């Protein structure tokens, strides 16, 4: 019996050890980027579009709705006049938040500066969550609770799951099928030419 168990354990380690070694450099990062693109890119792109104007020139125009979404307490303190909201810090926060919502997801999907973009998105989601809870004051049901039997709360459950592909990318990189990997291979090739 012990020999059979040892054989099964050894077989398990060999099979999954092989799979881990074979997929380590390319699969996890690629899969994490695919999951992010399939599940979250559209969400963030749509959210970012609500903060800028229409068309190419509108992209460079932050709309008043962005201030209501990101900096509502400042708009309220200014009597609802977005133009009266100070640029430092509120306008800067709205500007950076709006364009981060466009740029960081794009960088993740194409695999450029992926680790930095993943960490940036983790921070972005943390700030988004803080604003939703404190500023927009979403209800306890939407916030949810960890370790309960309901896996569908917008904050505690969904946003924690959003973090998983981002943490994988931050720790393991974007995988071989990325611009980061292409640039690394090019740099290594250039390094070999210099040393030759």
Say which residue the tokens 């973090």 belong to.
163
Closest CA relative to residue 86, chosen from 97, 75, 101: 75
Confidence band (pLDDT; 50, 70, 90) for 196? low
Confidence band (pLDDT; 50, 70, 90) for 58? very high
* 67-125 confidence digits (pLDDT tens): 999 999 999 999 999 999 999 999 999 999 999 999 999 999 999 999 999 999 999 99
Please answer whether residues 175 and 28 qualify as being in contact, where contact means their C-beta atoms are separated by less than 8 angstroms. Answer: yes
Tell me the mean pLDDT in the region 127-135.
Answer: 90
Tell me the mean pLDDT in the region 11-23.
Answer: 90
| Cβ partners under 8 Å of residue 164, min gap 6 | 32
Model pLDDT, residue 194:
56
This prediction has a pTM of 0.86
Q: Which residue has the higher pLDDT, 167 or 187?
A: 167
Of all residues in the chain, what percent carry a pLDDT higher than 90?
72
How far apart CA 121 and CA 167 sit, in angstroms, is 10
Query: In whole numbers, what is the pLDDT of the chain averaged over residues?
Result: 92
Q: Which residue has the higher pLDDT, 186 or 191?
A: 186
Report the SS3 class of residue 52: strand
In a 13 Å sphere around the CA of 46, the CA atoms on its Cβ side amount to 6
């Amino acid at each position: 019996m012990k020999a059979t168990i040892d054989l099964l354990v050894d077989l398990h380690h060999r099979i999954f050890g092989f799979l881990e070694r074979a997929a380590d450099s390319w699969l996890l990062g690629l899969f994490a980027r695919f999951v992010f693109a399939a599940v979250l890119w559209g969400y963030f792109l749509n959210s970012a579009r609500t903060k800028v104007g229409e068309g190419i020139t509108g992209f460079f125009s932050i709309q008043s709705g962005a201030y209501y979404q990101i900096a509502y307490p400042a708009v309220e303190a200014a009597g609802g006049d977005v133009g009266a909201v100070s640029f430092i810090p509120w306008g800067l926060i709205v500007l950076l938040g709006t364009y981060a919502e466009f740029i960081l997801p794009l960088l993740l999907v194409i695999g450029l500066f992926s680790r930095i973009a993943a960490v940036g998105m983790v921070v972005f989601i943390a700030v988004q969550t803080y604003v939703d809870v404190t500023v927009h004051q979403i209800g306890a049901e939407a916030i949810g609770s960890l370790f309960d039997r309901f896996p569908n709360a917008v904050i505690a459950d969904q946003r924690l799951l959003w973090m998983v592909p981002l943490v994988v990318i931050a720790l393991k990189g974007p995988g071989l099928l990325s611009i980061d990997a292409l640039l690394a291979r090019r740099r290594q090739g250039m390094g070999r030419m210099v040393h030759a």
